[in-house]
Structure 1
């Protein structure tokens, strides 16, 4: 009980800088490690050849869908749980946690079976070329089959973070990622298993993270018991879970769609270029996606710590604490994004060259894309704070609109139009242009949000008096 009270104190009364560091840094480190082992996969597989690197690049959208399934119930429940705890409704919070966990697992099993049954057509839809396909099938079969662990881990990451247990989440993700990084060179190079080895290493790492989360539950350290009998599919519970979870899932689906469109636009280049050039574009953009995602995932990790604080403060009608957490999160995330972006701008060739055995076309393409993304990611912290804030406050529609901007509303028309006008440059600069437009939209939505919060604050004070 003492541990539970400390978690609630962290969410509700600890100084904002202390609370953000305690909640944000562990999740940020966990996400950073997750991003690093994605890069380690790309590093070792990239040494096998461009087609092998292309295989894990075209499979990457599937991983985003898998994460999205976990977030559908994990993030949806996490947002609602934080607000329930802020109101003191611990029993309802327990029911929401159980409902989300078992619903997500069932949906995950259905997804895995369906994907494996139609794997080759799905990979073709993702933009896989004939030379990449054999490697993509080998990798994806194992990766998809083991994704039930990842779905469970994503849900648990969000649910237990909502109760203030960010350190456990960090440890679970950290342990799995480190094991994956250790096993990658052993399976890929020492045992000569190639992309199959990379998939097996990822599966074992994810399984270890699942074991850590299960240990946390079974040792009764969580305020949640996750009993099947506690599942409650009431209209209120499902409404609150899905109004936040669905926008989050859509965001992940749009992330997948953006990668698919990039791959398909690269495939369209085969009319005027060789298949080797097309494979270089797909592999190069895949490497860029993983590199940029290291910075974006770290920001997401930090904002995962901000979300429960914001949701708890809003549920408790502590508007002063809410506003302070928003300002501090924007400042810290923007400083980080500026530094990360500067690294990409100054050292693009050095970074991208680590993901190929000597494909200079891949390096040239990746270098230009990394530099452009370096400038645009400087706006990412500001955008992410507000897209996450809307969801934390239970404002699903606004969160959906803003979350869909960066890789949907803004990105899709740009990637469909620009390459036909300027060729390969349209593929390289589509995302940075979409980032800039999304940041401008965020400014206007943020202004309206703060006006709304001020009205709520004044109304609350009037009712109390």
Structure 2
């Protein structure tokens, strides 16, 4: 069996546990290593001082917005691509993959140029204080300029995952992540480049990941073909990409906005409070990325099964994904809640106030993270099924609809505690909303299954007679 046929068999007929492990585990490992190198980046910068840590902290939301463009086209295309493969429509799938890749890079270049031109005003809005600004400009100007490679990588990661090539996604992520771990101390300390060195190390690492994906394309290992001539901006293709991509981009923008709002609220209580938000964000992002990586395996299975009308297979994939992701979230969340001060102390040279503030926040976020797997499975599911409105609402809850009112109001009455507990409260509210939306979705799936079975032709008399014999 050739490679494309193996991928299709994995999506459509392999046992769910085997398919989830084969598709989700490599991406999860890649995401884990990717998250670890972000943490290592933060660890090495933390050794430079509180202001340098604050500089990296305020730059993070801007990077997330730019990555959101890769998700706009990559994740929007991935959901559609998995359904097209389920229907066997390879011709349209090639057009969708090419359109997503080239559009993401082109629009990403425009946004990066605008960000560099207006960098100082943007950083000020993201929470950069006067003492932090020189370091923030030094780091972010390099980091943002070279993030065009990250836009390409994120778009390709989603496209590659949609065809079941999870090992390729893992290799691309691992290559960049491991290189960054090696280069960080060299550029930051050996070459004495400080925060600029951290940005240079990240840029080189992202370029290496891009090379891995380019090799995959040029060696024609992909199910899809990529060509500018294949790009199509037809109403059908763009509506399918954007109806999933826009909610995903909105989620990413809300993530950046929530981090920015938390940074701005925290800086009112001093540099240590702002610096504490950096490790907190990176640690909880590590847990989130691992769940996202695993669910990248769930996404093509769910999309393929839904497109092929395999409702029993879809239901089994949902149950298994919720169980496995929740087990991980419980373990990760409890580790963060039980050892918060030990974890936070790794990211400072001895700022006890930063450790104290960060520990309170990490404990609370760890406990609420237990709900994250359940919430995220359904967030992914609505989008991959093409239910853009429901996916947009659910994807906006945790760091938008629920979080924004809380972060604006709670600090007024609770001070710094209101900042630290805003996200955990939003997590709980989002999980409650998910329960109601999930019940409604399963009723719809049951009705769709009944309608599909009723529309199937009855067995012929000859077939029935043979069965009777």
**1:122 maps to what in 2?**
122
Following superposition, the deviation at residue 267 of structure 1 comes to 3.1
1:38-57 residue CA offsets vs partner (Å, 9 max, x unmatched): 10010000000000000000
Q: Distance in 1 between matches of 2:204 and 2:265?
A: 34
**2:466 maps to what in 1?**
none
1:43-76 residue CA offsets vs partner (Å, 9 max, x unmatched): 0000000000000000010121122110000000
- Work out whether residues 66 and 112 of structure 2, in 8 Å CA contact, stay in contact via their aligned partners in 1: no
**2:91 maps to what in 1?**
91
Matched, 1:398 2:390: yes
Structure 2's unaligned 5+ residue stretches are 458-469
Matched, 1:134 2:134: yes
1:265-320 residue CA offsets vs partner (Å, 9 max, x unmatched): 12334xxxxxxxx1111110111010111111100110111001000000000000
1:197-236 residue CA offsets vs partner (Å, 9 max, x unmatched): 0000000000000000000000011121210110111100
Q: Distance in 2 between matches of 1:22 and 1:62?
A: 33
Q: Distance in 2 between matches of 1:374 and 1:259?
A: 17
Q: Distance in 1 between matches of 2:143 and 2:409?
A: 33
Within 5 Å, which residues of 2 pair with 1:59-98?
Answer: 59-98=59-98
Matched, 1:317 2:309: yes
Q: Distance in 2 between matches of 1:459 and 1:55?
A: 56
**1:262 maps to what in 2?**
262
- Work out whether residues 105 and 148 of structure 2, in 8 Å CA contact, stay in contact via their aligned partners in 1: yes
Q: Distance in 1 between matches of 2:268 and 2:56?
A: 20
Q: Distance in 1 between matches of 2:355 and 2:57?
A: 15
**1:386 maps to what in 2?**
378
Following superposition, the deviation at residue 395 of structure 1 comes to 0.6
Q: Distance in 2 between matches of 1:378 and 1:266?
A: 24
**1:25 maps to what in 2?**
25
**1:449 maps to what in 2?**
441
1:142-197 residue CA offsets vs partner (Å, 9 max, x unmatched): 00000000000000000011011010000000000000110001001111110000
Q: Distance in 2 between matches of 1:98 and 1:74?
A: 10
Structure 1's unaligned 5+ residue stretches are 270-277
- Secondary structure at the counterpart of residue 164 of structure 1: coil
User: Taking structure 2 as the reference length, what is the TM-score of the superposition?
Assistant: 0.97
- Secondary structure at the counterpart of residue 163 of structure 2: coil
Q: Distance in 2 between matches of 1:145 and 1:345?
A: 37
1:308-366 residue CA offsets vs partner (Å, 9 max, x unmatched): 10000000000000000000000000000000011011110000000001100000000
Q: Distance in 1 between matches of 2:263 and 2:168?
A: 37
Q: Distance in 2 between matches of 1:372 and 1:67?
A: 27
**2:344 maps to what in 1?**
352
Q: Which moved more, 1:257-266 or 1:235-244?
A: 257-266
Q: Distance in 2 between matches of 1:350 and 1:192?
A: 28
- Secondary structure at the counterpart of residue 268 of structure 2: helix
Matched, 1:361 2:353: yes
Q: Distance in 1 between matches of 2:427 and 2:162?
A: 28
**1:104 maps to what in 2?**
104
Q: Distance in 2 between matches of 1:385 and 1:335?
A: 13
Following superposition, the deviation at residue 264 of structure 1 comes to 1.4
Within 5 Å, which residues of 2 pair with 1:284-433?
Answer: 284-433=276-425
Q: Distance in 1 between matches of 2:20 and 2:271?
A: 42
From 281, 295, 299, the counterpart of 2:273: 281
- Secondary structure at the counterpart of residue 57 of structure 1: helix
Bigger Cα Rg: 2
Paired residues, number = 457
User: Taking structure 1 as the reference length, what is the TM-score of the superposition?
Assistant: 0.98
Following superposition, the deviation at residue 374 of structure 1 comes to 1.1
After the TM superposition, which parts of structure 1 deviate over 4 Å for at least 4 consecutive aligned residues? Answer: none
Pairwise CA RMSD: 0.7
**2:3 maps to what in 1?**
3
- Work out whether residues 126 and 264 of structure 2, in 8 Å CA contact, stay in contact via their aligned partners in 1: yes
